């Protein structure tokens, strides 16, 4: 079992700390739609990732703290299968809480899958040999890690993170299928053919905000606040873009210093706008929840809307749910009022069995695994071209977050199917519980994005 070192209080404070992102990354990513990682990070993100110098193995999952580490011979534990293992590389940042949640989910899912016989591909059972490397969201480190995955580990497929655009030319040149969760538009632009976006940050906001706007036509003035960092600036730009499409005005946008803990003055300024609706994200569960609390205490009378799923359980561990009563947002499949979806329940069960409890980790980056798994099962082979073809055909897949379908991005000049569209469940928090307002179809979600992104 991997043991995580204890974090300091400062490390636990803000789930969306982007201090490792360079100015180059900020300039590249800050203005794009869907770029910000404004999600409700689970409490599992409060625990630091395994970060020692040694390579550690647990039932088919090998983790290494640095891209220059060498895996000792025989250090990977995986049960042999007649079809042989499918080798999957994974690039993440062990210091980033959202990635810690992803790491822990994979450390639970993959050994459980292997114990049950492995992944069924074309009628054969494959054990999954997963190799995790710490790319630190850094250009040189992540590129070195990927080169090692290709040349030394000889992986079949790669799961990527926000560093994907640094090393994408390497994997594209190698014809290697990559399933990534990254806010960068670069990974989706032509002529890239082997890289796929599996996250919900790009195409879910237009659907969630579009539904809210149609149901609330009297909402004309928006108040919003975001941390003054990469993700926060991108989200502020997204709010402005959505407002323009729906004939709304951003009455006030406040970019607050990262690490802010006292939101009282910010909340008062927002209340004084008399705006119709307030929205925020990108601060992580801790900051976002504290901001909602300050807004509630300052006497906010307008509506609340989040276009990224808001977690009652995670946020409710930080502030009383009364502070975000009435919020309208997508509901992730782990928190549906009727109970978690089968896929979400499976994650909850295996995660709980491994770590002792379900501490509401964010289900963001793990979507890359669900996309790859569905593509392998659909293709029925490890052949990279056929796996890519399965995704390019408009693959539908289900994750612990919800149901998705792969679609093209003509707004980015790419008519190949490459990004994930989400058939979201929209809900409203009433008496501390979600009430379902809308089960959105793929066609409805597509129509909202067509309107916002000017798809032909």
With a CB cutoff of 8 Å and minimum separation 6, the contacts of 356 are none
For the domain that residue 48 is a member of, what is the CATH number?
Answer: 3.40.50.2300
Note the pLDDT of residue 66. 61
Specify if 295 maps to a domain. no
Task: Please count the structural domains in the chain.
Answer: 1
Handedness of CA 238, 411, 362, 12 (dihedral sign): negative
Domain-located, residue 395: yes
- In this predicted structure, the answer to whether residue 454 has a pLDDT above a threshold of 90 is yes
Sheet holding 128-134, edge to edge: 56-58, 61-64, 128-134, 86-92, 157-160, 178-180, 195-197
pLDDT digits 0-9 by tens, 378-413: 999 999 999 999 999 999 999 999 999 999 999 999
430 pLDDT band (50/70/90 cuts)? very high
More confident residue, 109 or 98: 109
| Percentage of residues of the chain with pLDDT beyond 90 | 75
Would the pLDDT of 36 be above 60? no
Q: What is the pLDDT of residue 231?
A: 78
Res 315: pLDDT: 93
Q: Report if residue 384 sits inside a domain.
A: yes
| Whether the predicted pLDDT of 321 surpasses 70 | yes
Which pLDDT does position 35 carry in this prediction?
33
Q: Is residue 98 a part of any domain in this protein?
A: yes
Query: How many other CB atoms are found less than 10 A from the CB of residue 53?
Result: 8
Q: Which structural domain range is residue 157 located in?
A: 41-200+348-353+361-401
Predicted confidence band at 25 (pLDDT cuts at 50, 70, 90)?
very low
Please report the pLDDT score of residue 285 as a whole number.
85
- Does residue 24 carry a pLDDT above 80? no
Check whether 49 has a pLDDT greater than 90: no
Per DSSP, 5 falls in state P
The whole-number pLDDT of residue 282 equals: 85
- 99 lies in a domain? yes
- Give the β-pairing of 56-58 and 61-64: antiparallel
What pLDDT, on the 0 to 100 scale, is given for residue 82? 52
Q: What's the rounded mean pLDDT across residues 253-268? A: 96
**Angle subtended at Cα 309 by Cα 158 and Cα 318, rounded to the nearest 5 degrees:** 105
| DSSP 3-state percent helix, strand, coil across the chain (nearest 5) | 40, 20, 40
175 assigned to some structural domain: yes
Tell me the C-alpha distance between 125 and 20, whole Å: 40
The structure tokens 């379908």 sit at 405
Residues 6+ apart with CB under 8 A from 156: 86, 87, 88, 382, 384
Q: What is the pTM of this model?
A: 0.83
Question: Considering the domain boundaries, does residue 110 fall inside one?
Answer: yes
Half-sphere exposure of 267 (CA within 13 A, CB side): 21
Q: Residue with structure tokens 């519980």? A: 433
Q: Measured at the alpha carbon of residue 384, what is the angle toward residues 106 and 382, in degrees to the nearest 5? A: 65
Q: Is 36 part of any domain?
A: no
Report pLDDT digits (tens) over 273-288: 999 999 999 888 889 9
Distance CA 45, CA 54 (A): 22
**C-alpha triplet 60, 61, 63: angle, nearest 5°:** 150
């Amino acid at each position: 079992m991997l043991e995580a070192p204890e974090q300091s209080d400062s490390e636990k404070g803000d789930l969306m700390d982007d201090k490792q992102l360079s100015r180059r990354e900020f300039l590249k990513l800050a203005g794009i739609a869907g770029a910000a990682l404004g999600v409700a990070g689970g409490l599992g993100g409060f625990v630091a990732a395994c970060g020692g110098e040694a390579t550690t193995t647990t039932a088919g999952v090998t983790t290494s703290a640095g891209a220059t580490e060498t895996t000792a011979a025989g250090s990977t534990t995986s049960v042999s299968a007649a079809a042989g293992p499918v080798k999957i590389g994974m690039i993440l940042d062990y210091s980033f809480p959202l990635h810690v949640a992803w790491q822990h989910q994979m450390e639970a899912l993959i050994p459980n899958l292997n114990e049950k016989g492995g992944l069924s591909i074309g009628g054969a059972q494959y054990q999954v040999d997963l190799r995790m490397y710490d790319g630190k969201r850094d250009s040189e480190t992540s590129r070195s890690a990927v080169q090692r995955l290709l040349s030394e580990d000889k992986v079949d497929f790669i799961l990527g993170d926000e560093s994907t655009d640094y090393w994408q030319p390497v994997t594209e040149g190698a014809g290697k299928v990559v399933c990534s969760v990254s806010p960068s538009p670069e990974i989706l632009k032509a002529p890239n053919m082997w890289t796929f976006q599996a996250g919900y940050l790009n195409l879910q906001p237009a659907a969630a905000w579009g539904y809210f706007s149609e149901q609330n036509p009297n909402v004309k003035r928006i108040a919003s606040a975001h941390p003054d960092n990469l993700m926060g600036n991108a989200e502020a730009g997204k709010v402005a873009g959505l407002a323009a499409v729906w004939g709304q005005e951003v009455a006030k946008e406040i970019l607050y210093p990262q690490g802010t803990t006292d939101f009282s003055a910010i909340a008062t300024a927002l209340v004084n706008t008399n705006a119709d609706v307030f929205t925020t994200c990108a601060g992580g569960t801790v900051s976002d929840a504290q901001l909602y609390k300050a807004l509630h205490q300052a006497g906010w009378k307008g509506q609340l809307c989040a276009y990224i799923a808001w977690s009652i359980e995670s946020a409710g561990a930080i502030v009383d749910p009364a502070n975000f009563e009435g919020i309208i947002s997508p509901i992730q499949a782990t928190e549906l009022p009727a109970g978690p979806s089968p896929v979400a329940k499976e994650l909850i069960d295996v995660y709980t069995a491994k770590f002792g409890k379900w501490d509401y980790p964010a289900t963001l980056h793990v979507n890359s695994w669900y996309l790859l798994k569905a593509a392998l099962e659909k293709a029925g082979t490890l052949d990279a071209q056929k796996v890519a073809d399965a995704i390019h055909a408009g693959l539908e897949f289900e994750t612990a977050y919800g149901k998705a379908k792969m679609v093209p991005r003509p707004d980015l000049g790419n008519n190949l199917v490459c990004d994930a569209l989400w058939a979201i469940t929209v809900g409203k928090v009433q008496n501390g519980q979600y009430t379902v307002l809308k089960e959105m179809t793929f066609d409805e979600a597509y129509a909202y994005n067509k309107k916002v992104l000017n798809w032909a």
